[in-house]
Amino acid sequence: MRLAEDEVVVPGSERLAADNGQSVWSTSDSQPHNEEPDTVRELVRHLDRLFHGDQKWYTRFRDASAQWLLDLLQDLLDYDADIPPAARRRIFKALIRLSDHSKLYPRCFTLTDLEQERHVDGGPFSDVYHGYLRGHSVAVKMMRVFEQSDIEAALKRFGREAIIWRQLSHPNLLPFYGLYQLRQRLCLVSPWMEKGQIRGILHSCDADHLLSLILDVACGLEHLHTLGIVHGDLKGANIFVTPSLRACIADFGLSSITTFSSSFHFTLSSTAMRGGTTRYQAPELHRGGHNSLHSDIYGFACVVDEACTFST
């Protein structure tokens, strides 16, 4: 995998260990056991049968059994690069369905030792703080709730965003560090981008750098679409600049997973399924359509137009 020249190493990113102290894939050289590929493939086939055989399969798991299966599914996604893309997407969807139903998430997401410092931004669903995680400067996106009844919906929304974001690894996508819980509120933690949003540097870009930034965004979006993920809210405010002046896409709160035959939306209402920022939305969204790969491309075109306008 190609790494960005300023790739951030996740602090404390140790993978979840099984009860015996070893990851399900752990060996002395951190590679899957060579003698067990058939077992892994059979496990994936068994899970596929489970997911297809009963549309309500996830209701059979709760508490400890749900936590065990969530951890297993995330381990499979993390450690087995040979899972066919279609099976990987089904495991991905299953992970979100089970997390949504059980109100749990894989334990490897959990972070400790976070120091929250100052409020820097806010939106309708969250506030953003600058903080430190074991000496690393981080952005902390904290869910915003006004009533006790808002907590469950916000937990679902943040849990889904965390699971989708956790599966992404690409130089042009903002890395995800993990989840932190503060005062009964979930926080999504990512590296702090000191140079801020892409808009902040457009006025000083020459033509070559502008083209490079546009290509960065295109590569990040292409990677999402290759995985079957719709971003759902692509705009300048959701594109950040790395220390090496590369662009990376952020904010996966309206993201969804698609297949060739259907779309599985991880959103909380019909309004959210068409959610996003009006000026970047494709015409079909204003006629009641849902976010899609095509509407993402329209959003990308708006970003390009904006970038060229701001840079002149």
Residue 12 has pLDDT above 60, yes or no: no
Model confidence at 3, pLDDT cuts 50, 70, 90, reads very low
Q: What pLDDT does residue 239 have?
A: 97
Q: Hey, what domains does the chain have and what are their CATH numbers?
A: 37-108 (no CATH), 110-191 (3.30.200.20), 199-310 (1.10.510.10)
Q: Please name the amino acid found at residue 155.
A: L
Report DSSP letters for 69-118, one per residue.
HHHHHHHHHHH-TTS-HHHHHHHHHHHHHHHHHHT---GGGB---EEEEE
From residue 300, alpha-carbon distances to 78, 136, 265 in Å are 29, 31, 20
The whole-model pTM stands at 0.80
pLDDT digits (tens, 9 = 90+) for 140-199: 999 887 676 667 777 788 889 999 999 999 999 999 999 998 877 889 999 999 999 999
Could you give the residue numbers annotated as active site? Answer: 233
Residue 106 has pLDDT above 80, yes or no: yes
Task: Provide mean pLDDT across the span 16-29.
Answer: 34
Q: Which two tokens stand for residue 44?
A: 């994936």
Spatial separation of the C-alpha atoms in residues 15 and 12, rounded to whole Å = 9
